[in-house]
């Protein structure tokens, strides 16, 4: 299944220990970022989390209880394998 460059960038960021949140109703996602100068949190929208979760490449760390609350997501084994396979194909071309 083809994925956008943004989706692959999100998976790479997850591999590099960046934190992402997905709303309990699976309708909106964001990346947690901090401004190093002001020490303020500056979240960035990450709508590509939605198809990644549907495909089983990411999952909630804990089962969402409230559909309007945001929950941390992590990459699944399937997501790790997909990313490794994609990186191998990218190196060959």
pLDDT in tens, 39-61: 999 999 999 999 999 999 999 99
Q: 23-39, pLDDT tens digit by residue?
A: 999 999 999 999 999 99
CB 70 within 8 A of CB 26: no
pTM score of the predicted model:
0.86
Q: How far apart are the first and last CA of the chain?
A: 19
**pLDDT of amino acid 78:** 95
Q: Give the per-residue pLDDT at 90.
A: 65
Question: What are the structure tokens assigned to 42, written together?
Answer: 């500056």
Can you give the pLDDT at residue 5? 87
The model's confidence at residue 13, banded by pLDDT at 50, 70 and 90, is: very high
Query: H or E stretch including 15?
Result: helix 5-15
């Amino acid at each position: 299944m083809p994925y956008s460059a943004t989706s692959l960038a999100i998976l790479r960021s997850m591999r590099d220990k960046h934190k992402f949140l997905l709303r309990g109703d699976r309708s909106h996602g964001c990346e947690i970022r901090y401004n190093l100068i002001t020490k303020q949190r500056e979240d960035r929208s990450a709508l590509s989390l939605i198809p990644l979760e549907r495909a089983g490449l990411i999952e909630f760390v804990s089962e969402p209880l409230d559909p309007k609350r945001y929950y941390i997501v992590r990459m699944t084994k399937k997501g790790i394998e997909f990313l490794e396979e994609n990186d191998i194909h990218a190196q060959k071309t």
